[in-house]
Amino acid sequence: MNRFLWPLVAFLVLVGFLAVGLNLNPREVPSPLIDKPAPEFRTTLLHEPERSVGKQDLVGKVWILNVWASWCTACREEHPVLVEWTKKAGVPVYGLNYKDEPGAAKQWLQRLGDPYTASLVDRDGRIGIDFGVYGVPETFVVDKTGVIRYKHIGPVTPQALRDTIEPLVRKLNNG
């Protein structure tokens, strides 16, 4: 009897781990940067390469950083959501154009609409690496002191905006 009991127990434990794993949301990857200061950066603007923006320029207001690229298929999915949302968002949304060709990025924004307060250029991906970007699109909510309060992995959806990002932005703006 014991000969079959231990393999059965091991099998049930394995099934338990699989069941828990299948119920986790893959978009909720814990980030070590949550509640930590956003990484320092300074980079040029996509549409005004003679100007630059850095983290210190954004301190004092709640802001959103959306990492995107013209070659990113999932970015195309979220882009109309951002275009519509930023018309009424009341929070600056900065695009971080990640490992992209500036010409392709500009054409993409011209063709599909530009939801960004400004698009920041990250040609070599160093800023993205500092932010712990796994892939595009990813979106960060940063508070008035420059601390990252939320990270969304994957395309931003209307539900994510309504249920998570908008309430958080309101809370951070009032707090």
pLDDT for the residue numbered 24: 63
Angstrom distance (rounded) from CA 102 to CA 96: 12
Angstrom distance (rounded) from CA 95 to CA 110: 14
Cis peptide before 80 (omega within 30 of 0): no
Contact 90, 168 (CB under 8 A): no
**pLDDT tens figures, 22-79:** 766 655 566 789 999 999 999 999 999 999 999 999 999 999 999 999 999 999 999 9
Q: Which domains does the chain have, with CATH numbers?
A: 31-174 (3.40.30.10)
Give backbone dihedrals phi and psi of 105, rounded to 5 degrees, phi first.
-65, -45
**pLDDT tens figures, 149-162:** 999 999 999 999 99
Instruction: Give the pTM.
Output: 0.85
Query: How many residues comprise the chain?
Result: 175
